[in-house]
Every structure is written in C-alpha cells, then in structure tokens.
Structure 1
C-alpha cells in the first residue's frame, strides 16, 4: 500500500482551512468578542433584512450558521436571502437598496463606492477591532477614499493561465 499523495490533498486541505477560517470569522461576528450580548427589542414589530449573496459557494454552510445565530439573538428579524442576479450597482441603486450584499472587492465595488453607493464602515472596523484581526493587504483592499467600505469574509484565489 502506497502513502497518499500529499499534493493531491492540498486543494482539499485549502478548502477546509478556508471554510474553518470563514466560519470562525462569521461566528466571531455574532457577539463572541463582546462583553455584553447585543440587545434587540423583542416585542418590536418584525424587521426584514434583505441580503444578496451568490447562489452557492464553499461558504454556504458557514453563512447558514451565521444567519441562524443572528436570528436566535434577534428573533424579530427575518433574513430575506436573495441570489445575486444583477450587478451590485443595480442593487445599490434600488429604492430601498438591500441591507447587505456579499460581493468581491473588485472594480465593480470600487466604482459603487466612488458613486457614493457604499457606506463608510470605519466605525464597524473600529468597534470590531478588525485592524488587529486583518493584515495590512486586507485593510488596503477594504479601504476606498480613506474609509473602510468592505469587511473581508474570506480568501479567494485568482490566477493567470497560459500555455
């Protein structure tokens, strides 16, 4: 019996490592680092948050766990999860725009920020102490016009293929 080829297991390990990191990040955002649990008015009228995300990805399971944790903490909140079907700018120009969009830190996001369609998340970065949690390159892609407009949710790989 020959030992397993470790190079063939590398992509599988990378996927599992990425999932683990994303799950830690998403669950960490659910109040783990706070001294006090977030308080939501339990007897207020129901609130629906619109969330736009890819149809399916390696993050789907972690995303489901994060949504479940959030709705346990805030039972009067409902998440209306919709699949990405248009450009981010088209969603952001809707009235009202979605509450949350999961998108890549790409040219489309930068153009949306330049058009004033993305909120300044600098206070979120400060309160979450994200500058200590994320390396400088992640901070750099998250900052547009001297304001944080993006919170990284994982790692992605892009490559150039040629022959």
Structure 2
C-alpha cells in the first residue's frame, strides 16, 4: 500500500508541483496581510480647535494623533486656538472640523440647534455604549442621541491631609453625620476643617453641586440647571441653608473671598513648615487639576474620599470635568473627522492617551476597560468613584448657558 501511494505521488508532474507551490504562496500571502487600507485616500488637513488645556494633555493628544496617523497617513492636523465663542466658531468660515471641549451646557445647545454631528451611529458601530459607563453615556447625550466623544475626565473629591487624619485617629467619613462629627473634632483640636477659595467660582460652587445631588438627587439638580425649577423651591432652599450651616459652624477658613485657588490647596499641605498656605486646614472639595501645582513632596501627603452620602434614598451622582471632542456639522471633512473620532473612542486610542496621562494624577480615561497597569493609584480611585454613578454632571459654572 505504501508503495502504491509513493508511485502515485511520483506521477505528479514537476510543472504541476511548481504551480501548486506558487498557488500556496499566493494564498499564504493573502491570508497573512491583515493591515487595513486607510479609510481616507486623499490628503486631508483637519482643523482642531482647542483651549489651552495644558502641556500634559497636549503631549498625550499629540502622541495619540501620531498613532492614528500610522493608520491614516493621509490625515494631518492644524491646531487652532479658541479665540471666539463656541457658537461663533461653529458657524464661522471655514469652521473647524473638531473642537476639544467638555460635555457642558453648550453641547446641548449646539445639538438642539443642529450645529454638531450626531455620533450615535459611531457609538453603536464601535461598541462605545458598552465601553463607557452609564454616567458618561448620559453626559454625552441630548434627547437620547450622542453628540460627544468623551476621552478623559477629572473627578471631584474631598482631598485631605492623611498624616493629620492619622495624628487625630480619624478615618475618611462615608456619611454626612460622620463628616460633621469629624469637622467638630478638628475644631476641638484647634484645626480648621475646610479650606475654600471664594475667588474661584468653579471650586466654591462644587459645594452647591454636591449638597443638591446628595440631598435631592440627579433629577432635581438637572431640572434646576435646565431652568425648569426655581431657586426658591423648598428643596433648593434646604441646600442653601445646609451650606450656610457649614459657614455658621466655623468649618471654613476665614474670609474665603480673599483666598485664591492655589492658596486654598496649599492650606491642606503640612510638610512645608508654614511656607505655603496661610490658613492651614484639613480638607478641601476640589478636583485633581490643582494638584499639578503642588510640589510632589507635598502632594504625597494628600488623598481624597467621595463626598459623603446624605440621603439613603438618593442614587449616587458625581461631578466630573470632561475632555473630549465634538464635530461641527459645518466642518469640511466629515469622513476624516469620523475616522479620527472612531480611533479616539477605541480601546487603542484611549490606551494611547492613558499611556501618557495615566502616570499623572490629573486625568482619568473615560473608557472603563483601560489596563489598570497604565494608571496611577489616584486615577484608579477616580475611576472607581464614577464607575457606579448612573448620573454624572459637569461643575455648576460649566452647566450655565453658553458655558463652553
């Protein structure tokens, strides 16, 4: 039998063997070439309008753009600073193809006016509804459609001096009653419980945001921001009275209207021997963006915890500052614009950003599936803070009409 097979094999002509070998090589070559062709085949320059966000973000975005251009070498970028109101920029000639912004009130106004591209199809095609938490889905939507692509966010928490808490045997509180008890204990020890900058509306109004969200919930807060609920409503008056109580009890620094943002942060630093921060305090409600102005040696003293719960019947909600993209409808290169947004929303794109941002303590990736090994402890804490919150809100000052 083996002899028969061998004889049959020898009868295959040599030319046929060569032909079969050539065919196999061709098929192997076809199967091994997995590189995708660029979506955009002609040279295109996208105009990206952005705020002066800072060197950390700009370097990360630049790196992500380089990774994108490996796939789409025909797409280049021209940076344009925000030198006019967003509404004017979107209707200018020529209009930018992309705008770096947050999911602020202007996004809803632009969507309502038909000024931005509906990204719902892109979200569905690329599985972003699974990649982003419900909070980010809601924050990026207007009337059930997606008009925004979140890339990164800065969380909000109550930052505190860990050594000071340890010295007095204090643990981060989880309820409002525990928080008030800690404030009273700190006062009894001669400490100022809370730092605050009255010169920074962004920072100071975070107290109003969180008191309303914790007492009344997301629906009431959203109705207030959208002008559907008056400030004279009894529930809002309760928020204001609770806030006033914190001042009346002497929990805040004296004369906060004279305290600048950086001074307010420096107040909770203790290892400086009194060189920075004039009213040393234990805690401050803020986001991580101010931490970049604190020297590393002092930043190591600080940690943060979520704003305490006040009403067990209210679902958790958090305040975040987002960075991402929206696409003006009047842009001239929609195909290339959508290709870039598709990349920046992908795991690959946001991993590229996280590789540059993750070691810092400022921005967390919007996607929930980024490799945790790329992220700092603080960033992972910030992501955990928002992961379970079905509702996310922009800070009060960015939720007002015409906020960009």
TM-score (norm 1): 0.68
Verify the 8 A CA contact 1:88 1:109 in the aligned structure 2: no
- 1:36–1:139 CA distance, 2 compared to 1 (3 A): farther
Residue 6 (structure 1) aligns with: none
Residue 53 (structure 2) aligns with: 56
User: 1:39 offset after TM fit, Å?
Assistant: 2.1
CA distance in 2: counterparts of 1:116 and 1:59, whole angstroms: 29
Residue 128 (structure 2) aligns with: 130
Q: Which has the higher contact order (CA 8 A, sep 6+)?
A: 2
Q: What runs of 5+ residues in structure 2 fail to find an aligned partner? A: 1-33, 157-201, 208-251, 253-404
CA distance in 2: counterparts of 1:59 and 1:148, whole angstroms: 24
- 1:92–1:38 CA distance, 2 compared to 1 (3 A): farther
- 1:118–1:41 CA distance, 2 compared to 1 (3 A): closer
CA distance in 1: counterparts of 2:78 and 2:45, whole angstroms: 7
- 1:91–1:38 CA distance, 2 compared to 1 (3 A): farther
| Higher CA-based Rg | 2
CA distance in 2: counterparts of 1:160 and 1:56, whole angstroms: 17
* Superposition pairs of residues 4-153 of structure 1, within 5 angstroms: 37=36, 39-40=38-39, 42=41, 44=42, 46-57=43-54, 58-153=56-151
User: 1:113 offset after TM fit, Å?
Assistant: 1.2
Deviations 1:2-38 (A, max 9, x none): xxxxxxxxxxxxxxxxxxxxxxxxxxxxxxxxx8635
Q: What runs of 5+ residues in structure 1 fail to find an aligned partner? A: 1-34
- 1:113–1:39 CA distance, 2 compared to 1 (3 A): same
TM-score (norm 2): 0.29
CA distance in 2: counterparts of 1:41 and 1:101, whole angstroms: 20
User: 1:74 offset after TM fit, Å?
Assistant: 2.1
State the aligned residue count.
127
User: 1:71 offset after TM fit, Å?
Assistant: 2.2
User: 1:40 offset after TM fit, Å?
Assistant: 3.6
CA distance in 2: counterparts of 1:148 and 1:36, whole angstroms: 30
